[in-house]
Amino acid sequence: MINTDKNHKHTYDAQGKMTCCTQEEKIYTQAGAKELVNEKHQHDHSDDDGHDHSHSESSPIKMFLPSIISLVLLLVAIAFDNWLPQQWFTGWVRIIWYVVAYAPVGFPVLTDAVKSIRKGEIFSEFFLMGIATIGAFTIGEYPEGVAVMLFYAVGEVFQTMAVSRAKANIKSLLDQRPDEVTVLRNNQPETVKAETVNIGEIIQLKPGEKLGLDGELLSETASFNTAALTGESKPDTKAKGETVLAGMINLNTVAQVQVTTAYTDSKLSKILELVQNATSQKAPTELFIRKFANIYTPIVVLLAVAICVLPYFFVADYEFKDWLYRALVFLVISCPCALVISIPLGYFGGIGAASRNGILFKGSNFLDALSNIQNVVMDKTGTMTEGVFKVQEVVFDKAFNQDEILQLVNILESHSTHPVATAIHEYVGKPDNTIRLENTEEIAGHGLKSTVNGKDLLVGNFKLMNKFGIQYDLDQNSIVYTTIAVAYDNKFVGYITIADSIKEDAQETINLLHKLNVKATMLSGDKNTVVKYVAEQLGIDNAFGDLLPEDKVNRVKEIKAKGESVAFVGDGVNDAPVVALSDVGIAMGGLGSDATIETADVVIQDDKPSKIPLAINIGKQTKKIVWQNITLAFVVKGIVLVLGAGGLATMWEAVFADVGVALLAILNAVRIQRMKFV
C-alpha cells in the first residue's frame, strides 16, 4: 500500500494546536468522532445507573434556563429602578439583587476564566468578559454589567446549538454502523456485537437492516441503499462476489455476506477517522486568526489600562470613574470571540456540507486550497470515462490462428487487473488453464510479456512493440479506439480495439469547471488519439496521451511552472507521484481503495466527476463566508472601539459590537450547512 506523505505541502508546528481560545478548542473537541463515539456509548448506557450522561442532548429550554432567570431578574430590577420605584430597593438590597441576576450567567464564565488562567491562558475571552463586568459593578453600573454577561451567555448557547447542528451529519455516519449483527454459526442465526465478528464469518442481513462490517456478497444479487456512504440515493445492485460495505442498507431480500475486514478497519471506520482528523488540519486563515488573537488580546488589555490611566496626566477635569467606564467598554468591544468562534465553525460547516454530499476533506486547509484551484488535471479511465471496456474489433494477420492467439492473450491478461484485461476476458471467455506461460512480467507503461512454448508473447501498446523491435506496417494514429497490439514469436500479429464509454455527468463536470473559471487538463497513459477524442467531446482545454507515470509528473510540473495551482484527480494509488506534486489530490471512487483514503487530500466517495466542481464550489463558498465574518467583525469592532475610547459608546453598543457581531457571524457560518450547491 502506498502511503504518500503530503506534509511537504502543508506543515504545521505546535502553534497549529489550540492555545488561546477554549471555545474553539471546544468546537473541535465536540466535532471529533471519538467524542461522538463516547456520546453514543454513554447514551446507549444511560439507563445503567438511572442517569443520562450525554450533555449534548440538552433541550433548548434547559440550555437557556440560566439566561432566562437572569433576564427576568434584570428586567424586574430595571423596572424598580425606572418605572416602579420601591423604597426597599436601595443600598445593599439593590446590589444583592443585581448580583443574584448576574450569578446564573456570570459564575460559569468566571469559573472558566480561573481555569484558563491556571492553564497559563490569561488573556482569554472569559477573562475579558469577567473584568469588564466586574468593573461595571465596581463603578455602580449594575444593569449594564448584568446585561453584558447575559447577552454573552445567550451567544454561547447559540454557538453550542450551531456546533451541535454541524455535528449532526457526522453523527448520522455513526448511526449507519450498527452495534449488533446477525451471524450464522452452525447454520443458526446468532445476534452478536459487531466488533466481536471474525473475518470469514457469514452475516445474515434482512431487508431494511444495515451492514455492520465490510464483506463479500455470497447471495446471487442484492440491492443496497448507499446514501450514507456516497451521498447517492439511487439503489446500488450488487452481484455475487462483489464488495459490500458497512453502512449499506439491504433493500429487498435476505442476503448473506462473508466478512472480509475487521470492524475497526471498515471503510466507514476509516471515514470516521478521517473526519475526526480533519479538524486538526487548520486552514491558513484559522492559523492567522489564532496567532492574531494571541497578540491582539494582551494589546487591547494594555490599551484599556492606558485609556483609564493616561488621561490623568493630560485631561484637566479627569474623573477616574468616567475613564474606567470607557476602558471597560473598550474591553467588552475588543473580545475576539466573533472571530475565534465563527471562523472554525465556518470551516467545519464546509467539511460537514461536503461530507453530506459524499465528499470528504482531510482538513479545512484543503477547503482553502481547493477554493483557489486554477487547473484541474484528471486521469481519463475511471475518472471521466466509465472504466468499463468492451472489445470492438479484432484485426489479426491471417497467417496466425485467431482463436489460438486470442486464447494466449486471454491467459496472459489474467495476470492483470486493468479494465482492458476484463474486457478481453468477457470477449474470449474462460482461459484455458492447460496452457502454461513462463517468465511473465509487466512492463510499466507498456504492457505484458511472457513466453509460450519457448516463444515470446507481447501484449500491450505500440511502445511495447517498439521496445522489442517488432516491425509493423500500420498507422496507429488512424485508429480512434484504445488499441492492444499483439506480437508472437517476434512477429506482429495484429491488434484488438477496445472502447470505453464517457460518464453521463462528464460533460456537466467540464461545463461547471469552466463556469468556475477553472481549466481542465486530461493526462492519460491511453492512446493519444483516444484521449484527444474524449477531450474534444467534452470540451477539455488540454489533453495529452501516451504518458508514462513520470511523463504525468513532468506535465504537472510544467503547469505549476506557469504559476497555476493544480488539483489532480485520479485513483490516488497508481498516480501517487502526481498526487504528491499537486496542490490538492482528489481521489475518485474512494470506497474502492484503502490506499486512496490514505493518499488523497479529498476523497469523492462515488465515481461521479461532477463532485469535483461541487467540491471546489463548497471550498469557495466556505472561504467567502469566513471572510465575510472577518470583515464584519473588524469593521464593526473598529468603529465602536474608536467611539468607546472617545466616550461616545456605552456598554450597550459594546454588547452589540461583541455579542451581536458574534451572533451574526455564527448565523452566517451555519448558513453553509443549509446551502444548495450547484
- 530-550 residue pLDDT tens: 889 899 999 999 999 888 778
In a domain, 553, yes or no: no
In the prediction, which pLDDT does 506 show? 92
Which CATH number is 243's domain given?
2.70.150.10
Asked which of 245, 275, 305 is the last residue of a domain, the reply is 275
In the prediction, which pLDDT does 122 show? 75
In the prediction, which pLDDT does 390 show? 86
Dihedrals phi, psi of 426, to nearest 5 degrees: -65, -35
Q: What CA–CA distance (Å, rounded) separates 340 from 208?
A: 43
What is the DSSP code (8-state) at residue 89? S
Q: Do strands 447-452 and 455-460 pair parallel, antiparallel, or not at all (unpaired)?
A: antiparallel
Per-residue pLDDT tens over the stretch 372-384: 999 999 988 778 8
* Residue 50: pLDDT over 60: no
List beta partners, residue 420: none
Identify which has the larger pLDDT, 38 or 633. Answer: 633
In the prediction, which pLDDT does 172 show? 56
Identify which has the larger pLDDT, 213 or 669. Answer: 213
Per-residue pLDDT tens over the stretch 569-595: 876 455 667 877 888 988 876 554 555
Q: Do strands 180-185 and 202-205 pair parallel, antiparallel, or not at all (unpaired)?
A: antiparallel
Q: How far is CA 420 from CA 390, 427, 446, 462, in A?
A: 8, 11, 13, 15
What is the DSSP code (8-state) at residue 605? S
CB 221 within 8 A of CB 254: no
In a domain, 653, yes or no: no
* Residue 41: pLDDT over 50: no
Number of domains in the chain: 2
Q: How far is CA 652 from CA 102, 605, 655, in A?
A: 16, 49, 5
In a domain, 199, yes or no: yes
At CB < 8 A and 24+ separation, what contacts does 425-433 make? Answer: 426/390, 426/391, 427/390, 427/391, 431/407, 432/407
In the prediction, which pLDDT does 283 show? 59
Question: Under DSSP, is residue 149 helix (H, G, I), strand (E, B) or coil?
Answer: helix
In the prediction, which pLDDT does 48 show? 37
Residues 6+ apart with CB under 8 A from 449: 439, 440, 441, 443, 456, 457, 458, 464, 468
In the prediction, which pLDDT does 405 show? 92
In a domain, 189, yes or no: yes
In the prediction, which pLDDT does 616 show? 95
In the prediction, which pLDDT does 166 show? 56
- Once rounded to an integer, what is the mean pLDDT over residues 395-420? 86
* Out of 137-146, 151-160, 271-280, 473-482, least confident range: 271-280
Most confident of the following: 466-480, 484-498, 644-658: 484-498
In a domain, 594, yes or no: no
Q: Do strands 236-239 and 202-205 pair parallel, antiparallel, or not at all (unpaired)?
A: unpaired
* Residue 265: pLDDT over 60: yes
* Out of 147-151, 263-267, 562-566, least confident range: 263-267
Identify which has the larger pLDDT, 296 or 198. Answer: 198
* Residue 465: pLDDT over 90: yes
Identify which has the larger pLDDT, 486 or 331. Answer: 486
In a domain, 218, yes or no: yes
In the prediction, which pLDDT does 615 show? 93
Catalytic residues: 379
pLDDT-derived band at 195 (thresholds 50, 70, 90) equals confident
Asked which of 501, 528, 562 is the last residue of a domain, the reply is 501
In a domain, 464, yes or no: yes
In the prediction, which pLDDT does 231 show? 52
Average pLDDT, the chain: 79
Q: What percent of the chain has pLDDT over 90?
A: 24
- What domain range includes position 434? 386-501
Per-residue pLDDT tens over the stretch 25-39: 333 333 333 333 343
Which CATH number is 497's domain given?
3.40.1110.10
Closest residue by Cα to residue 457 from 482, 427, 484, 489? 489
In the prediction, which pLDDT does 262 show? 86
Asked which of 275, 297, 312 is the last residue of a domain, the reply is 275
Model pTM score: 0.65
Closest residue by Cα to residue 251 from 187, 208, 199, 221? 208
Half-sphere exposure of 450 (CA within 13 A, CB side): 20
In the prediction, which pLDDT does 330 show? 80
In a domain, 166, yes or no: no
- Once rounded to an integer, what is the mean pLDDT over residues 268-273? 66
* Residue 597: pLDDT over 80: no
Closest residue by Cα to residue 23 from 88, 108, 80? 108
